[in-house]
Amino acid sequence: MARPGRPALPKPDLHPLVDSFLEMLRGERGAAENTIQAYWRDLADVSLYLRKNRSTDVNVATTEDIQAYLKDLSEKTHTKGNKTGKIAVRTVARRLSAMRQFFRFVISEDVRQDDPTSTIESPKQGRTLPKVLSEAEVTQLIKTAGIPGKPESVRLVCLIEMLYATGLRVSELVGLPMAAIGENNQFVMISGKAGRERMVPISDPAQKAMETYFNVRKQFIGVENRTNQEQWVFPSRTSDSGHLTRQRFAQLLKDLARAAEVDEDRVSPHVLRHAFATHLLRNGADLRSVQKMLGHADIATTQIYTHILGDDAKATVEEKHPLSKTRTGS
């Protein structure tokens, strides 16, 4: 969605096989819409480069074409905030992964027999540890968010409290339907990636923040309610979806970070999800429980949080985790 006052940029027409690939992800693999959009962006970037610089299209690209694209991508610079730097290695790796998935699909459809990415090695990535806020910084953000006392600040406090209390993905939070809220606001039922459902408890502070927010929630619902805003916990009068967007929430957090004098480069919805997991583990929570609340299919994904804990906290997690002994002995 374009920002208010700016016309939406027209989307380029990609090769029909790209659309077929995305439909396969949606229909056969049950991929989330955000995942579909991420694949589209990656393949669109590849396609536009190939058309402009190699006079070819993604469906017939050669290994040399793909290597030229990856080399060009890795040499590019981009600006984020006040900082300019090279495209991240993980971005290059993700684009290559998207192309691998696409060409596997093309081969499975008998459109071509060779995979031009098969001989290309993925760029080596160092371990990237999640950015994490301290408990004091999270408290400062919540305190600062509530100072204005307006409906918008009440909503922002609720969003932060909910995210910090549940570790929801930002798309799960902003798109939370009212029907997902459990009795007396004690838990939420989430339908996550690949349709996996999970129940996540809501902390007392988050419950209180939600009760306060529900008193002003109707102010975010338009009179005509054309997009059925009433069904969402965080409705929006200006969003096509009828609920607050991820982009708007991220922008609100950046503005809040500056007001709270917390480094805005370290504040985002996903960083608050990291804070939820890390602070739970630091205080002795079981790794398996945190995995379930985060909605991770593989516990190895959750274990990355133990790498940013101190030795004492890490030892506590490993001691309490039911698989630690078997892993140590293997």
Inter-axis angle of helices 33-49 and 16-27, nearest 10 = 160
What ranges do the domains of the chain cover? 16-108, 135-329
Please give the average per-residue pLDDT across 214-219, as a whole number.
Answer: 94
Known catalytic membership, residue 198 = no
Tell me, yes or no, if 273 is annotated catalytic: yes
Q: Does residue 303 or residue 327 have the better pLDDT?
A: 303
Domains 16-108 and 135-329 share a fold: no
Q: Which member of 39, 213, 305, 321 is catalytic?
A: 305
Q: Given the residues 270, 292, 314, 320, select the one marked as catalytic.
A: 270
The second-level CATH assignment, the architecture, of 135-329 is: Orthogonal Bundle (1.10)
- Catalytic option among 15, 169, 243, 282: 169
**What is the pLDDT at residue 192?**
67
Q: Is 305 a catalytic residue?
A: yes
Q: From the CA atom positions of the chain, what is the Rg in Å?
A: 22
Instruction: For residue 104, indicate whether it is catalytic.
Output: no
Over pLDDT 70: what percentage of the chain? 79
Q: Is 226 a catalytic residue?
A: no
Stronger pLDDT, 285 or 41, i.e. the higher one: 41
CATH entry 1.10.150 includes domain 16-108: yes
pLDDT at 22 over 90: yes
Confidence band (pLDDT; 50, 70, 90) for 277?
Answer: confident
Q: Is 100 a catalytic residue?
A: no
Please tell me the predicted confidence (pLDDT) of residue 316: 47
Cβ neighbours of residue 255 closer than 8 Å, sequence gap 6 or more: none
pLDDT in tens, 67-122: 999 999 988 876 555 556 678 888 899 999 999 999 999 999 999 999 999 999 88
**Over the stretch 128-171, which tens digit does the pLDDT of each residue have?**
555 678 899 999 999 999 998 899 999 999 999 999 988 888 98
Instruction: Return the pLDDT at 152.
Output: 95
- Spot the catalytic one: 95, 217, 243, 296: 296
Which residues are within 8 A (CB) of 303 and not within 5 positions of it... i.e. 6 or more apart? 287
Which one from 193, 254, 314, 320 is the annotated catalytic residue? 193
Instruction: Report how far residue 249's alpha carbon sits from residue 233's, in angstroms, rounded to the nearest whole number.
Output: 14
The type of residue at 244 is L
Type of residue at 135: E
Amino acid present at 170: V
Closest CA to 194 of 295, 95, 274, 43: 295
Q: In sequence order, what DSSP letters do the residues of 265-322 get, joined into one string?
A: GG-SHHHHHHHHHHHHHHTT--HHHHHHHHT-SSHHHHHGGGGGS-HHHHHHHHHHST
